[in-house]
Amino acid sequence: MLPIQKLEAVARRYNELENLLCTPSVLGNHNKLQQLNKERSDLEPVVSAFARLRDLEKKIADDREALADPDLSELAQAELPELEAQKQSLEADLEVLLLPKDPNDEKNTLIEIRSGEGGEEAALFAADLFRMICRYAETKRWKVEVLTESLASAGGYKEVIALVTGQNVYSHLRYEGGVHRVQRVPATEAQGRIHTSTATVAVLPEADEVDIHIDESKDLDISIAASGGPGGQGVNTTNSAVQIRHKPTGLIVKCQDERSQLKNKAKALKVLRSRLLELEQRKQDEALGAERRTMVGSAERAQKVRTYNYPQNRVTDHRIGLTLHKLDKIIDGDLGELIGALRTHRQAELLRGRDNG
């Protein structure tokens, strides 16, 4: 059953916001205007769907009355099944729209990809995963900025950390967190044997300064060193690599990609804040027991989330038991079907948890 009273309250608040946004006191206050516009924008899909539902209910009521009229009954009988189906679909949409939003869903996101078991092949697979996410980001018109990277000797990545910015980034990429496994014949394998390798992906919402307070003078040990690299002009000529240790937690972040100390420090702090935010949210989840760790979307790093089988052109997402035979398209960034299925599954889990709660 839809909570009609809640929907009516949302509609009232929406109308109240419409009026407030026209008042001089709000129009002259940029921060307030931004805040109320955001609230209005968040409520708009719910209010729009609720208005369509009310309209459908009126049409259904009119058709049911028309069943008693010999001149209109045939038309009403033909219309009613379609109207009822639309109503049922709209009610399901509203159930999802009313679910509490994760405050991180709209945030930009840090992606950390590290090679796992499998040596050089694992590093190449890590690079494939990063390229896959970058291609997906292109389709969403997001921007990807590499914060730090460590290249493997034969190509690929030992580690790459990037910031993805755009609209609702975390709400989509959160499902990529976990251990990814690949089964394929490496280019260096002379006898054509299939090898299994892994790479881990961590997905962290970008932390703002208001999310995590850091007292640089008390909380951080910052050390500067010469940048390291594969060699070439400009390498090891400036002391620009920055390593930051967060004393309260022992977390260490290093950034050396930029020639400027200040830029490297800014990037390292960005990574550190997001890791501290993840740590804090994990503590809260465990203390409250509210977030079931088995739920789809958890960023458990030890959780095997997906297998990519190249000989069979097959990708299997183990969290929802979904298998797709289009690995070539998925590894090229076509993640829409996978992420859509994972989002739908998570919504169903949340609905079930609400109904049981």
Among the four given CATH numbers 3.30.160.20, 2.60.40.60, 3.40.50.300, 3.40.140.10, the one describing domain 216-288: 3.30.160.20
Using the structure block, give the residue that is written with the tokens 């040596």.
119
> What are phi and psi for residue 147, nearest 5 degrees?
-90, -40
Each domain of the chain, given as residue ranges in start order, spans 4-97, 109-207+295-356, 216-288
pLDDT number for residue 227 = 55
pLDDT number for residue 297 = 37
Cα 139 to Cα 134, 288, 337: the distances in Å are 9, 37, 13
Crossing angle, helix 336-356 and helix 73-97, to 10 degrees? 90
Angstrom distance (rounded) from CA 113 to CA 160: 5
Cα 324 to Cα 100, 203, 308, 312, 346: the distances in Å are 31, 23, 10, 10, 19
CATH 3.30.70.1660 holds for 109-207+295-356? yes
Using the structure block, give the residue that is written with the tokens 């049409």.
59
pLDDT number for residue 124 = 94
Cα 262 from chain centroid (whole Å): 29
Among the four given CATH numbers 1.10.20, 1.10.260, 2.40.40, 1.20.58, the one describing domain 4-97: 1.20.58
Reported as half-sphere exposure (CB side, CA atoms, 13 A), residue 321 has a value of: 0
- Walk along the chain (357 residues) and give the pLDDT tens digit of each residue: 778 888 999 999 999 999 999 999 988 888 889 889 888 988 999 999 999 999 999 999 999 999 998 889 999 999 999 999 999 999 888 988 887 777 788 888 999 999 998 889 999 999 999 999 999 999 999 999 998 888 998 889 999 999 999 998 999 999 999 999 999 998 777 778 899 999 999 998 887 665 677 888 788 888 886 655 444 434 444 557 888 888 888 888 888 766 778 888 888 888 888 888 888 777 765 654 443 343 333 333 346 899 999 999 999 999 999 999 999 999 999 999 999 999 889 888 888 766 655
